[in-house]
Structure 1
Amino acid sequence: MDLQMKRVLINVQGKVQGVCFRRFAQSKANELGITGYVVNNENGSVNILAQGAYPAVDNLIDWCDKGSPQAQVDKVYVQEDEENEIYLDFSILPY
């Protein structure tokens, strides 16, 4: 079975820093078999680069609408990413 791959850049806005959002995002990505990274932005939002099978990436996007237990997500922006770097795992990056 050939699963189609998807790669997106997700920007999550709201109260998403200081609430373990990145750690929960990493855990969810690992659970779904997604590679890429999550990083805090200086403006208080969080970016996630996610690559993996279509249904898994869509599942992570859906998770971002709620986020970690303490998070208050206001908006989730998703755009297709055309880069071709390959990530072997899902990392938490500093700023």
Structure 2
Amino acid sequence: MERITLKIYGKVQGVFFRHYVSQTARELGLVGWVKNDLDGTVVIAAEGAEDKLKKFIMRCRKGPPNAKVEKIESAWQKYSEEFNDFEVR
């Protein structure tokens, strides 16, 4: 199991991006959270199997129909087991 933190840049607020991320994470069996940041980005912390996290990143790059992802910063971290579900913050 792994943990990844993502920071998504572009047109990602006000386009149901957090809902899309939450739904995608649950479909893949991931746990963690997603939130809007004050700088206009979306920040995500997700935990699960490495292959599922890689699929998750690819789906985050695409985003929902009205989103336009310009850049994703990612950092792999140690699995923490602190989450039970995936939540929108």
Q: Which TM-score applies when normalising by structure 1?
A: 0.89
Moved over 6 A (4+): none
Shift in Å at residue 85 of structure 1? Answer: 4.9
Equivalent-residue separation in structure 2 for 1:25 and 1:87 (angstroms): 16
Please give the per-residue CA displacement for 1:15-61, whole angstroms capped at 9, x wherever unaligned: 00000000010000000000000000000000010100111111111
Q: Which TM-score applies when normalising by structure 2?
A: 0.95
**2:22 alignment counterpart:** 26
Shift in Å at residue 69 of structure 1? Answer: 1.2
Rg: which structure is higher?
1
Equivalent-residue separation in structure 1 for 2:17 and 2:40 (angstroms): 12
Amino acid at match of 1:40: N
Contact 2:19/2:88 (8 A) holds in 1: yes
| Structure 1: runs of 5 or more not aligned | none
- Supply the RMSD in Å over aligned alpha carbons: 1.1
1:90 to 62, 86, 89: 86
**2:36 alignment counterpart:** 40
